[in-house]
Structure 1
Amino acid sequence: MNNPALLMGAALLLAVGTFAFRFAGAALRARVTFSPRAEKVLEVAALVLLTALVATTALYEGADAAGIARPAGVLTGAVLAWRRAPFAAVVLTAAAVTAALRLAGVP
């Protein structure tokens, strides 16, 4: 895929699609209503999707396992977030735990 025109076209198409989705959500919010059950299902679905994204990012690097250091850092960040620590503290502590473990030779 070395064709710059093709890459620019694909990027433009993705940008237009993203804008259309966002605009449709704002424009149709007052017109479309969901039942309380459907709203609850959509909320849970979003949570499940986010959890799956965090899990795959924390546990895998490409096709291989990420080792122990990264999941340990993510777990540390999750515990701090659960304890309602400030966001900056969560991110910095998780990164520091991961870096310290890698510095100590833990994969």
Structure 2
Amino acid sequence: MALLAFAAFGFFLHHLSKVRARKRRRDDLLTKYGDEAIVDRIVAAKMWQGMTAEMLRDSWGEPDDIGSDVYKTRTTETWKYGRTGRNRYMNRVIVEGGVVVGHKQR
């Protein structure tokens, strides 16, 4: 019986630390961006056109790969997420000038 209570208490402490970490992350993002609507979208792992590259990193994490194309007047990066095979990815996000301008999902 004591072992069961100890296990339940350990589970409770683990759950509590996860809740605190999520709250701390949300508070940090709110301090960083100052807009609850943006923070809600980032915490929900959303992606949208017009978000900055930094917001994308905060939302989806570091990309699995980044490809870039250099043109005369601009550089376009393709951030690749969700590797499914050799040079195959579930999501490709197009970033120009530090801003998300498009998305391809397979």
The structure where helix makes up a greater share of residues is 1
TM-score by length of 1: 0.34
Q: Which has the larger Rg?
A: 1
The structure where strand makes up a greater share of residues is 2
